[in-house]
Chains A and B, each alone.
Chain A
Amino acid sequence: MATTTVKMVITGPYASGKTEFIRSISEIDVVSTEKEVTPDTYEATIKPETTVAMDFGRITIDDELVLYLFGTPGQRRFDFMWEILAEGMLGFVVMVDSTKPETFREAKAILETFRAYAPTPYVVAANKQDMDDAWPAEDLRIALRIEDNVKLLPCVAKDKDKVKAVLLELLYSILEEMDT
């Protein structure tokens, strides 16, 4: 029997935790297209590697169904990839680094771009909530001007249970969308 594949996209600004998110839940080692950031640069102190094309994780549901998770590259020069990755997605997760207000504007811009690509459900994951300087999720909602009907979920991308909760909320949103 032919296998059906469905996909979700994990997007967000540079270094917001997309790769970590997929790593936490994927049953295979993430097929990551990360490249070492040039050593001795400031970037290297933030993130020794960065995703230059996309990350790719997989969750097998049963013999007939497989879920793929695609992580978008964070850097704007690879944004031509976004629309390709968005094609046919069930929904998407926008990751926001809750400790870096300088990335909030970009997060909002990415969210709006993906909304324009496809009218699919999405959730916003307020990542790095385990850090002392993280903005609380509800403050992020106001700062990012995210409507009340959009789910904004506290997240720690390295915590599998938190990642599961985000994906489940996205799936519930997809079901709700089908019911309307």
Chain B
Amino acid sequence: MPRQLRGTLQDLHTTQLLHLINLAKKTGSLKLFEGVATGKDIIMGDGETKRPEVVPGAERARIVFREGKLVYAQLTERDNHLATILHKANKLNDQQYRVIRERAASATDKALALLLINANYVSQVDIMQSIQQHTLEIVYDLMTWTREPFIFEEGEMPPNGRITVPIELENVIIQGTLRMRELDQLAKELPNLDFALRFPEAPGEKLKKIQLGVEEWRVVSFINPKNSIRQIAKACNMTDMQIRKIVYGLLNAGLVELVKPQEAPSKSQIRRADSKPNITPPQRPVITKLIDRIKNL
């Protein structure tokens, strides 16, 4: 029976999963889902910390591997049609794209690729490179996700008719690690998402001179010393990485200020790290006796 690996990206990051799939040369689909809170808490390995239990909801992304190589990726919310991929890669112009979408809407990617190559619209290399670029963009995007539940379905391949392009995972992992460093750096700059934000004394002038994107404006609309950054992220449906990037940008531009939260309580117990016990090495006959006894239990 095909096996499943289940978990959440909070416990194992995408980069770690790719590392596992690469080393174990796995074949199958890694699916990432929207997290649906069950209303219960789960207890972490320290037996004390709790966090809300989330179970997989709607599928948000899928990446597929064959013998440890990345071969396919799709985001549910993104148009993954081959024509769209080629248009985005500037291999099809607007008119070609429109016509193809109208006339070949139901064609599979493989059928469409053959059609386009035969019509000399694109070459096979164009198609492979565009799909590779599309796949990598999705995977790099997934590397910034931090909370979603995942299931790895051993043996499951992409839907019929999709084109697969094998990509070695090593470089993808290196790139992902670099992005994680960026995340770490942001986490250092903004260590505590329980901080609130406020506007400085005269924000109006600064806000007039700067051009904010839609996402930044959404965040700005929630800025209030009563709202923590975490609450704003929740209200805007953003991941920690996304909110950190935006808040970091706003802070650097001098558009907002952090409002310091109350001091966290100091840790009551500090483990003794420097006292190591003296150990008397056991004698070999003792170990042999133990082995014989346990074998016969």
Inter-chain contact A67/B290, CB cutoff 8 Å: yes
Produce 1/0 per residue, A135-175, CB < 8 A to B: 11011001100000000000000001000100110011011
Closest-by-CB residue of A relative to B296 is A164
With contacts A59-B294, A107-B45 taken as known, whether A174 is within 8 angstroms of B24 at the C-beta atoms is no
Q: A138–B12 Cα gap in the complex (Å)?
A: 16
| Binary contact track B262-285/A, C-beta < 8 Å → 1, others 0 | 000000010111011101111010
Assess whether B291 is interfacial by the CB under 8 Å rule.
yes
Question: Nearest chain-A residue to B5 (Cβ)?
Answer: A135
Q: Tell me which residues across on chain A come within 8 A of B84, comparing CB atoms.
A: none
Chain B residues with Cβ below 8 Å from A104 are 11-12, 45
> A73 to B23, alpha carbons, bound, how many Å?
34
Q: Is B204 an interface residue (CB 8 A)?
A: no
* Cβ–Cβ < 8 Å partners of B288 in chain A: 175
A168 to B269, CA, bound (A): 35
Which of chain A's residues have a CB closer than 8 A to the CB of B10?
102
A62 to B288, CA, bound (A): 12
Residues of A contacting B47 with CB < 8 Å? Answer: 13-15, 50, 73-77
Chain A residues contacting B284 (CB-CB under 8 Å) are 175, 178
CB distance from B12 to the nearest CB of A (A): 6
Report yes or no: A105 in contact with B45, Cβ–Cβ below 8 A: yes
Contact status of A160 and B7, CB under 8 A, knowing A106-B45, A139-B20: no
**A160 adjacent to B294 (CB under 8 Å):** no
Are A102 and B8 within 8 A (Cβ)?
Answer: yes
Using A65-B289, A143-B12 as known contacts, say yes or no to A83 and B271 having CB atoms under 8 A apart: yes
CA distance A79 to B271 in the complex (A): 8
CB < 8 Å neighbour of B19 from A86, A106, A142: A142
Q: Identify which of B279, B280, B289 contacts A62 (C-beta below 8 A).
A: B289
Is B6 touching A174 in the complex (CB atoms < 8 A)?
Answer: no
Is the pair A142, B20 in contact by a Cβ cutoff of 8 Å?
yes
**A86 CA to B278 CA, complexed, in Å:** 11
What residues of chain B lie closer than 8 Å to A110, measured between beta carbons?
45
Whether A174 pairs with B45 at a CB distance below 8 angstroms is no
Residue of B nearest to A101 (CB): B7
Query: In A108-154, which residues have CB < 8 Å from any B CB?
Result: 110, 113, 116-118, 120, 133, 135-136, 138-139, 142-143
Pair B46/A14 contact, Cβ less than 8 Å: yes
Interface contact B297-A160, CB-CB below 8 Å: yes
A61 part of interface (Cβ distance < 8 Å): yes
| Contact of A106 with B291 in the complex, beta carbons under 8 Å | no
Q: Report whether B282 and A6 are in contact in the complex, using a CB–CB cutoff of 8 Å.
A: yes
Chain B residues positioned under 8 Å from A172 (CB to CB): 291
B42 within 8 A of A: yes
Q: How far is the CA of A172 from the CA of B269 in the complex (A)?
A: 36
| B43 and A14 contacting across the interface, CB-CB below 8 Å | yes
Taking a contact as CB atoms under 8 Å apart, the answer to whether B277 and A118 are in contact is: yes
Smallest distance from the beta carbon of B73 to chain A beta carbons, Å?
Answer: 21
Asked if B202 is an interface residue, CB under 8 A from chain A, the answer is: no
Interface check A1, CB cutoff 8 A:
no
- Residues facing A in B8-26 (CB within 8 A) are 8, 10-12, 16, 19-20, 23-24
Q: How far is the CB of A99 from chain B (nearest CB, A)?
A: 8
Contacts of B294 in A (CB 8 A): 25, 59, 164, 167-168, 171
Contacts of A167 on B, CB cut-off 8 Å? 294
- Please report which residues of chain A, range 64-89, place their CB below 8 angstroms from some CB of chain B when the two chains form the complex: 65, 67, 73-77, 79-80, 82-83, 86-89
Residues in A neighbouring B20, C-beta threshold 8 A: 139, 142-143
Across-interface contacts of B11 in A (CB, < 8 A): 101-102, 104-105
* Distance, CA A171 to CA B43, complexed state (A): 33
The closest CB in chain A to the CB of B26 belongs to: A139
Chain A residues whose C-beta falls within 8 Å of the C-beta of B273 in the assembled complex: 116
Structural contact, B289 and A80, CB atoms closer than 8 A: no
Interface residues of B (CB under 8 A from A): 3-8, 10-12, 16, 19-20, 23-24, 40-51, 269, 271-273, 275-277, 279-282, 284, 286-291, 293-295, 297
Interface, chain A (partner B; CB < 8 A): 4, 6, 13-16, 25, 42-43, 46, 50, 59, 61-62, 65, 67, 73-77, 79-80, 82-83, 86-90, 100-107, 110, 113, 116-118, 120, 133, 135-136, 138-139, 142-143, 160, 164, 167-168, 171-172, 174-175, 178
A-B contact pairs, 15 of them (CB 8 A): A13-B46, A42-B41, A61-B293, A65-B290, A67-B293, A74-B47, A79-B269, A83-B275, A87-B277, A100-B45, A101-B8, A101-B12, A102-B11, A103-B45, A104-B11
